[in-house]
């Protein structure tokens, strides 16, 4: 009986965090921040929420998210975008 309660508690904790990620994604989307398809912040926050829920459904406490690249892909950027103008090296190397 305790395993069912532990699993329910795990899922409740995971759901609380996943919901907060989705709320953040929605607020960012409303402000036009991070809306690039497949690479934007909104996309990744929603995928992270799904990953947390999926891991909880398997009885695991989420520790990692393997869903994305963290540097912009210059090939996906528009020539006049901030990423191209602001410092991403077109060769794909990170510029620090």
> What pTM does this model have?
0.67
pLDDT value of position 3: 64
The residues, ordered by sequence, that sit 6+ positions from 75 with a Cβ below 8 Å of its Cβ are: 92
pLDDT value of position 71: 55
Do 24 and 46 form a contact (C-beta atoms < 8 A)?
no
pLDDT value of position 78: 59
* Sign of the torsion angle spanned by Cα atoms 36, 37, 42, 48: negative
pLDDT value of position 5: 72
pLDDT value of position 4: 61
Structural tokens at position 91: 């060769």
pLDDT in tens, the chain (96 residues): 466 678 899 999 999 999 999 999 999 999 999 999 888 999 999 999 999 999 999 999 999 888 765 555 566 665 555 544 444 445 555 444
* Sign of the torsion angle spanned by Cα atoms 87, 91, 92, 96: negative
């Amino acid at each position: 009986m305790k395993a069912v309660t532990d699993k329910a508690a795990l899922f409740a904790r995971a759901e609380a965090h996943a919901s907060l990620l989705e709320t953040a994604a929605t607020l960012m989307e409303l402000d036009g921040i991070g809306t690039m398809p497949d690479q934007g912040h909104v996309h990744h926050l929603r995928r992270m929420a799904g990953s947390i829920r999926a891991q909880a459904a398997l009885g695991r406490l989420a520790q990692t998210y393997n869903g994305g690249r963290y540097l912009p892909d210059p090939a996906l950027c528009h020539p006049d975008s901030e990423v191209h103008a602001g410092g991403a090296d077109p060769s794909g190397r990170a510029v620090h």
